[in-house]
Structure 1
Amino acid sequence: MKSKTKTALVTGASSGIGEATAERLAKAGYKVYGTSRRGAPAGKRSFDLLPLDVTSDASVDTAVREMLRLEGHIDLLVNNAGFGVAPAGAEESSLEQARAIFDTNFFGIVRMTRAVVPHMRREGSGRIINIGSVLGFLPMPYMALYTATKHAVAGYSESLDHELRTMGIRVSVIEPAYIKTPFDANFMEPDVPLDEYREVRTALAKRVREVVEGADGPEVVAETVLQAAIAARPKLRYAAGGLAGRMRLLRRFAPAGLVDAGIRKDLRLQT
């Protein structure tokens, strides 16, 4: 039986941005189901947690069917599950590793979307919110694979929104900058490390840790997700946090050479 309460499905909700988003949506009145691939430590949560591996078609189908069995409808899908590769040269990751990060960060979103959209289409309404990054419109030296997945998420989201809006479904992408979360705990180390990159790899990892330590918390992203979810006229792209907003303006209006130089200066790379 379909309940009247708005429902939300949030992937990767055992910690960080996903957990903060699930908690914020629950506080706003949604009936929230979070998901976790590896499970999560016991704790007091305002949402239920379902097992889900976004790289598995069967796991995705099982989780979506279970939520539909329990609630009868899915009003909001937040695609958050993802991981990164620790700072390293692009050639230090094998094709197998490249496929692995795309399988989670991009194809995981595709799987979830394909599983949920038919139900939203039958209802004639729905929201899909994808957690992207400012790296969906900016480069990040020594994190090329992660950056490529976020560029893919941005392009997929924008195209999908055009396809689905006439069916009452809207798609938005949230683009934070650095966020202070345990995200780096899930970094995949490069599987083909090269001596030529050792020094810059070490220096950049240190620089990223320094910046993340002073960054906004995941609550900034959670608030932006809620804003997109309840907007009468949702925007396609939402910058999450002041730094993300400034970076978008810089990319849009600053000369390309200035943006290029600024990236290298901020990361303390040789010019």
Structure 2
Amino acid sequence: MGKTDIKTAIVTGAASGIGLATAKALKAAGYRVYGTSRRPIPGRDGDVTMLACDVTDDASVEALVKTVHGETGRIDLLVNNAGFGISGAAEESTAEQAQALFDVNLFGVIRTTRAVLPLMRAQAGGRIVNISSILGLVPAPYMAVYSASKHAVEGYSESLDHEVRGQGIRVVLVEPAYTRTAFDANLVSPDAPLSLYDSDRAGRERFTREVMATADAPEIVAEVVVKAATAAPPHLRYTAGSMARQASLLRRFVPAKQFDKSYRKQMRLPPVS
């Protein structure tokens, strides 16, 4: 297919879940969409062109961007969605395990962003939507490393948005809460587990099972991504789903001590002052 005036979007981590729903929603909104996964998979119903890309590898990211730009002549939107989580207490993950998560969740964002920025600048416009998490605002116990990575994505995105606005480029955050995908089922176990955390961890796992029963569909998040991608001008942050909106409001307006007490109770943690 040759170059086109149709806007082009790249969605990382688009093999399933939020990424796949986002790719389809952007296609329905009129974008020409390229999705990525670590391993090559065929396109789905001709809606999305799937390409292999490992966001932890500079050469892989550069090859992806070169291929998409070579086919279309433009990259209007980058959605950084690729990521994974570790479920365990903070000290149960070695530095090596934490680095592996940050290499995907944060440095993957940095790699893809740096690859598209010169092209967006040359065409005098573009948008980058980074999929954060409500845990980037309200860190959860037994998700410390993942929460830290999303806090880092939030700081990086807000700083970058200030830097590139004058170039016609905007950087936007989307913050989902619990979403019905394989993310929770695929959480990585800590590589240095400690038995003293078993009881509290079990309580949090019960909480997770309960909330997942009524969690948002990935299509809800995808709708918010389309809004974040097309709003003129955009907000810096968009929460996705009722749980994320509620958590964001409570964190901002409820006194810290009261919020802490309520949050520990919700997470099935003992009431320690």
Shared fold, TM over 0.5: yes
Q: Distance in 2 between matches of 1:158 and 1:198?
A: 37
Contact kept? 1:129, 1:173, Cα under 8 Å: yes
More divergent stretch after superposition (105-114 vs 135-144)? 135-144
Structure 1 segment 93-242 matched on structure 2, within 5 A: 93-242=93-242
More divergent stretch after superposition (14-23 vs 235-244)? 235-244
1:169–1:14 Cα change, 3 Å: same
Corresponding residue of 2:83: 82
1:60–1:212 Cα change, 3 Å: same
More divergent stretch after superposition (20-29 vs 209-218)? 209-218
Q: Distance in 2 between matches of 1:56 and 1:5?
A: 29
Task: Please report how far the alpha carbon of residue 102 of structure 1 lies from its aligned counterpart in structure 2 after TM superposition.
Answer: 0.4
Partner SS for 2:101: helix
Contact kept? 1:14, 1:39, Cα under 8 Å: no
Q: Distance in 2 between matches of 1:185 and 1:141?
A: 17
- Cα deviations across residues 191-243 of structure 1 (Å, max 9, x unaligned)? 00111112222332232122122101111110001001111110000011111
Contact kept? 2:3, 2:73, Cα under 8 Å: yes
Task: Please report how far the alpha carbon of residue 41 of structure 1 lies from its aligned counterpart in structure 2 after TM superposition.
Answer: 7.0
5+ unaligned residues in a row in structure 1: which ranges?
none
Contact kept? 2:200, 2:268, Cα under 8 Å: no
Contact kept? 1:76, 1:127, Cα under 8 Å: yes
Task: Please report how far the alpha carbon of residue 42 of structure 1 lies from its aligned counterpart in structure 2 after TM superposition.
Answer: 7.1
Q: Distance in 1 between matches of 2:42 and 2:58?
A: 25
Letter matched to residue 238 of structure 2: Y
* RMSD, aligned CA: 1.3
Partner SS for 2:185: helix
**TM-score under structure 2 length normalisation:** 0.96
Letter matched to residue 6 of structure 2: T
Contact kept? 1:130, 1:172, Cα under 8 Å: yes
**TM-score under structure 1 length normalisation:** 0.96
Contact kept? 2:43, 2:49, Cα under 8 Å: no
Corresponding residue of 2:37: 36
1:214–1:45 Cα change, 3 Å: farther
Task: Please report how far the alpha carbon of residue 184 of structure 1 lies from its aligned counterpart in structure 2 after TM superposition.
Answer: 2.0
Partner SS for 2:9: strand
1:172–1:42 Cα change, 3 Å: closer
More divergent stretch after superposition (258-267 vs 73-82)? 258-267
Q: Distance in 2 between matches of 1:74 and 1:46?
A: 17
Task: Please report how far the alpha carbon of residue 265 of structure 1 lies from its aligned counterpart in structure 2 after TM superposition.
Answer: 1.3
The share of aligned pairs that are identical, in percent, is: 56
Contact kept? 1:23, 1:45, Cα under 8 Å: no
1:61–1:190 Cα change, 3 Å: same
Count of residue correspondences: 270
Corresponding residue of 1:259: 259
More divergent stretch after superposition (178-187 vs 22-31)? 178-187
Q: Distance in 2 between matches of 1:159 and 1:42?
A: 35
5+ unaligned residues in a row in structure 2: which ranges?
none
Q: Distance in 2 between matches of 1:43 and 1:156?
A: 33
Letter matched to residue 4 of structure 1: D
Structure 1 segment 3-82 matched on structure 2, within 5 A: 3-40=4-41, 43-44=44-45, 46-82=47-83
Contact kept? 2:41, 2:51, Cα under 8 Å: no
Contact kept? 1:157, 1:173, Cα under 8 Å: yes
1:34–1:250 Cα change, 3 Å: same
Contact kept? 1:76, 1:229, Cα under 8 Å: yes
